[in-house]
Amino acid sequence: MSQLLTREEICVPENEVYHRTCLLTDAALTYCPGCGHGTAHRLIMEVIEEMGLQADTIGVAPVGCSVLAYDFMDIDMQQAAHGRAPAVATGIKRLYPDKFVFTYQGDGDLAAIGTGETLHACNRGENITIFFVNNGIYGMTGGQMAPTTLPGMKTATSPFGRDTESMGYPLKITELIAMLPGTYYVTRQSVHTPQNVRKAKKAIEKAIQYQKLNRGLNFVEIVSNCNSGWKMTPLESNKWMEENMFPYYPLGDIKVPKQN
Amino acid sequence: MKDIRLMKGNEAFAEGIIRAGCDGYFGYPITPQSEVLEYLSTTNPKERTGMVVLQAESEIASIHMVYGGAAAGKRVVTSSSSPGISLMQEGISFMAGTELPCLLLNVVRGGPGLGTIQPSQSDYFQAVKGGGHGDYKMIVLAPASVQEMYDFAKLGFDLAFKHRIQVMILSDGAIGQMMEKVELDDQMPRLTDAEIVKRYPWATTGKTPDRKRNIITSLDLNPVKQEIINQNLQKKFKHIEETEVRFEKIQCDDAEYLFVAYGSSARICQKAVLLGRAQGIKVGLLRPITLFPFPTEELARLAEQVHGMQVIEMSAGQMVEDVRLAVNGRVPVAHYGRLGGIIPAPDEVLHVLEQNFITSKTEKKYEPAAY
Ligand SMILES: Cc1ncc(C[n+]2csc(CCOP(=O)(O)OP(=O)(O)O)c2C)c(N)n1
Ligand code: SF4
Ligand SMILES: [Mg+2]
């Protein structure tokens, strides 16, 4: 029998398959176990680290479960009022055109109270990147109906299911902004399986890389779970997401830059 | 040679911010202040100084663009008139909570609601008492001439960065629209990004290895910490009250009666003082230049000297409350206000003062001009 390897022999660069990015702080994540926000944070920070952008990055946190994103991301960050992150990011980017500026927003933040700021930042073609975590619900305030809540979906304010007749339809804001000439790259991803995590990371890389081109706004939607708000276990919520969210919000690129 | 020009108040403000080294202006059109954005759009500040000018989709967006720029240490400005300033209260409150410096101009028009596009002073409470949610104050400057619309741009920036506070210039449609000569200063250079990093170590300019990350937030869920944050804010406001009071006194030395008025109303009262003096009435004018901090001490001092104070405002009586607090019952304080965009005339306000403090009510009749 061959000899067992020592810790030192195993921990060599060639063997490394994963390391925790140094751009995540040591603060314990405040998200519910199983929630997609944490994975989304990690991917964005990994990419910023790998691209060596820490000193050039200014992030904008929303109001929503990820309001404390600045506690976890080791970069300069501003906390914006509910829905106003795209306007805040516009102010930063216009004055620091060489910095990498991004917002991180939930669906209530981006597609309800901040719809105006979102559409117009996209329409002006602001050279910023928006990370949009769509969990179809207001997670932070305790699971009320969001603009993205699916028809029939039960929430604290649609306890009998979203009735489209009186409550309207889920807003496909990502498709909407993809139609605007001001957006450059628009994609929809998820982070609930290793395969999807890898794809999402690629998309995040592009959305960050493209900002350097100054061609317009780059937009990454991440369809995610809110196991607490949906009142499911993390596993159930992922299954429910695949069966119900993805048909309405299909994954994949929605707008890709023209080859030139 | 001096650079003297004939300008509108709104244009003078726009030129003032360019020359004071402003980095960015974000705004949305509204009468009677649209000339600010128009002037900035036609005089090419981008080429002159590199200053950014952007027409936002709303006043809400404007103020949050200002928030983003200010949080990154830039000298940023927005301007509007009453309905637009109401929309901005959310962002102003967030800037108060994060102690961000910025310059805001309100060219006040009459309200409530859409009201009128004519001048008014009915936003005094909103400007001076906070306006948005939470316990906060802004420094409020009240220009009474086109020259001051220009001068207060630089003064406003200086105060904003000195105290990390929002400075509002509370003007009105008359001062914004009227034309007077203005003496302009030389162009001040804008700060470089490196200078900003050095001067404003709190600014979110990108985390470098030599420092911890900078976070601009007004959130703290720990009530003990939140109370301390608020107490520190109050300390700052107190310090500002002790150090930044500005006012102008006109013919006050021997005054027996006093007008108290700011902005356009002060201009009218200035003329009324001349009319009164010509009639042998010993009348003076105290013009607050800072509305917060308010010249409370000076008014208390004058209360020992005069027989009565006549407050003139183009409102139903807002500043008069602060005058009464300062005077604390020592002399009678009367209020006279015109509403809805009507500007009182000098002889009208002098007549009111005489009626209230000098002649018996029945003796003289004043016939106001028909509007
Ligand atoms: C002006 C304002 N209105 C309402 C709220 C309350 N509020 C906080 S978070 C939130 C919804 C957040 O939902 P979402 O953006 O979907 O984020 P999630 O928590 O689901 O990630 C609301 C309504 C607020 N903070 N500010
Ligand atoms: S409430 Fe929902 S969105 Fe918020 S942390 Fe929990 S699972 Fe995530
Ligand atoms: Mg949500």
pLDDT at B273: 98
Ligand 3: distance of its center to the CA of B132 in Å?
26
Partner-chain contact A55 B69, CB within 8 Å? no
Select the residue from A88, A124, A126 to test the B interface by mutation, using most B Cβ atoms within 10 A.
Answer: A88
What is the Cα–Cα distance from A223 to A243, expressed in whole angstroms? Answer: 12
CA distance A186 to chain B (A): 22
> Does the C-beta of A210 come closer than 6 Å to ligand 2?
no
Q: What is the pLDDT of residues B190-244, one digit of tens each?
A: 999 999 999 999 999 999 999 999 999 999 999 999 999 999 999 999 999 999 9
Answer positive or negative: Cα dihedral of B258, B260, B261, B266: positive
Contacts with A, B 275-334, CB within 8 Å: none
- % pLDDT > 70, chain B: 97
CA distance A25 to chain B (A): 10
Q: Domain B3-195 is in which class? A: alpha beta
Ligand 1: distance of its center to the CA of B371 in Å?
49
Ligand 2 probe mutation, A140, A228, A240, most atoms within 8 A of CB: A228
What is the Cα–Cα distance from A242 to A240, expressed in whole angstroms? Answer: 5
> Does the C-beta of A146 come closer than 6 Å to ligand 2?
no
Residue of B nearest to A114 (CA): B61
Residue tagged 């210039």 (tokens): B169
Partner-chain contact A87 B64, CB within 8 Å? yes
pLDDT at A17: 87
Encoded tokens for B237:
């406001």
Of the options 3.40.50.300, 2.40.420.20, 3.40.190.10, 3.40.50.920, the CATH number for the domain spanning B247-365 = 3.40.50.920
> Does the C-beta of A162 come closer than 6 Å to ligand 2?
no
pLDDT at B366: 65
Residues of chain A found within 8 Å of residue B65, distances taken between Cβ atoms: 87-88, 90-91, 94
B357 touching A, CB under 8 A? no
pLDDT at B365: 65
- pLDDT range class, residue A237, cuts 50, 70, 90: very high
- % pLDDT > 90, chain B: 96
Residues of chain A found within 8 Å of residue B191, distances taken between Cβ atoms: none
Residue of B nearest to A84 (CA): B64
Ligand 1 atom with the shortest distance to the CA of A135? 20
Q: What is the pLDDT of residues B123-179, one digit of tens each?
A: 999 999 999 999 999 999 999 999 999 999 999 999 999 999 999 999 999 999 999
Residues of chain B with CATH 3.40.50.970: 3-195
B17 contact partners, CB below 8 Å, separation of at least 6: B25, B77, B103, B153, B157
pTM of the model: 0.96
Residue of B nearest to A91 (CA): B65
pLDDT at B367: 66
- pLDDT range class, residue B360, cuts 50, 70, 90: low
Residue of A nearest to B92 (CA): A81
Partner-chain contact B217 A61, CB within 8 Å? yes
Partner-chain contact B57 A61, CB within 8 Å? no
Ligand 1: distance of its center to the CA of A202 in Å?
29
- Asked whether the bond before B112 is cis by omega within 30 degrees of 0, the reply is yes
B190 touching A, CB under 8 A? no
Ligand 2: distance of its center to the CA of A50 in Å?
28
Predicted ipTM?
A: 0.95
Q: What is the pLDDT of residues B24-72, one digit of tens each?
A: 999 999 999 999 999 999 999 999 999 999 999 999 999 999 999 999 9
Residues of chain A found within 8 Å of residue B26, distances taken between Cβ atoms: 91
Select the residue from A75, A92, A103, A118 to test the B interface by mutation, using most B Cβ atoms within 10 A.
Answer: A92
Ligand 2 atom with the shortest distance to the CA of A139? 1
User: Which alpha helices (H) appear in chain A, and where do they start and end?
Assistant: 7-10, 37-50, 69-72, 85-95, 107-108, 115-124, 164-167, 173-178, 194-209, 227-230, 234-240, 246-248
Residue of A nearest to B62 (CA): A87
CA distance B207 to chain A (A): 5
What is the Cα–Cα distance from B169 to B290, expressed in whole angstroms? Answer: 9
Nearest to A79 by CA among B309, B143, B69, B215: B215
Residue tagged 């004055």 (tokens): A95
Q: What is the pLDDT of residues B326-342, one digit of tens each?
A: 999 999 999 999 999 99
What is the Cα–Cα distance from A73 to B81, expressed in whole angstroms? Answer: 39
DSSP A232: S
Ligand 2 atom with the shortest distance to the CA of A225? 7
pLDDT at A1: 58
Residues of chain B with CATH 3.40.50.920: 247-365
CA distance A230 to chain B (A): 25
Residue of B nearest to A85 (CA): B64
Mean pLDDT, residues B302-312: 98
Residues of chain B found within 8 Å of residue A74, distances taken between Cβ atoms: 207, 213
pLDDT at B320: 98
What helix, strand, coil percent values describe chain A, rounded to 5? 40, 20, 40
Partner-chain contact B206 A57, CB within 8 Å? yes
How buried is B253 (Cβ within 10 angstroms: 0-12 exposed, 13-18 middle, 19+ buried)? exposed
In chain A, the domains with their CATH numbers are 28-255 (3.40.50.970)
pLDDT at B1: 80
Ligand 1 probe mutation, A63, A105, A157, A249, most atoms within 8 A of CB: A63
3-state secondary structure of B22: coil
What is the Cα–Cα distance from A245 to A149, expressed in whole angstroms? Answer: 9
Position A243, amino acid = E
